[in-house]
Structure 1
Amino acid sequence: MIIKRRRLKQTHSLEERLAKDTAQLLQQTKLLPDGAAKEHLMKRIQQNEAAVHVCELLRSPQFQPAK
Structure 2
Amino acid sequence: MLRRRFEQTLSLEVRLDQEATNLREQAKLLPRGKLREQVLRKARQNYVAAHINEWLTSPSLKAPT
TM-score (norm 2): 0.80
* CA apart distance, 1:59: 2.3
Question: 1:34 and 2:40 equivalent?
Answer: no
Cα RMSD, aligned residues only: 1.5
Structure 1 gap ranges (5+): none
Alpha-carbon separation, structure 2, partners of 1:54 and 1:14? 11
Moved over 4 A (4+): none
Distance in 2 separating the partners of 1:52 and 1:38 = 21
Identity, % of aligned pairs? Answer: 40
Q: TM-score, normalised by structure 1?
A: 0.78
In the alignment of these two chains, the number of paired residues is 62
Structure whose residues are more often helix by fraction: 1
Alpha-carbon distance between aligned partners in 2 of 1:56 and 1:16, rounded to the nearest angstrom: 10
Q: Which runs of 5+ in 2 are unaligned?
A: none
Find the structure with the greater CA-based Rg. Answer: 1
Question: In the TM superposition, what is the alpha-carbon distance from 1:63 to its structure 2 partner?
Answer: 3.8
Match of 2:19 among 18, 21, 26: 21
Q: 2:62 and 2:10 mapped to 1: Cα distance? A: 22
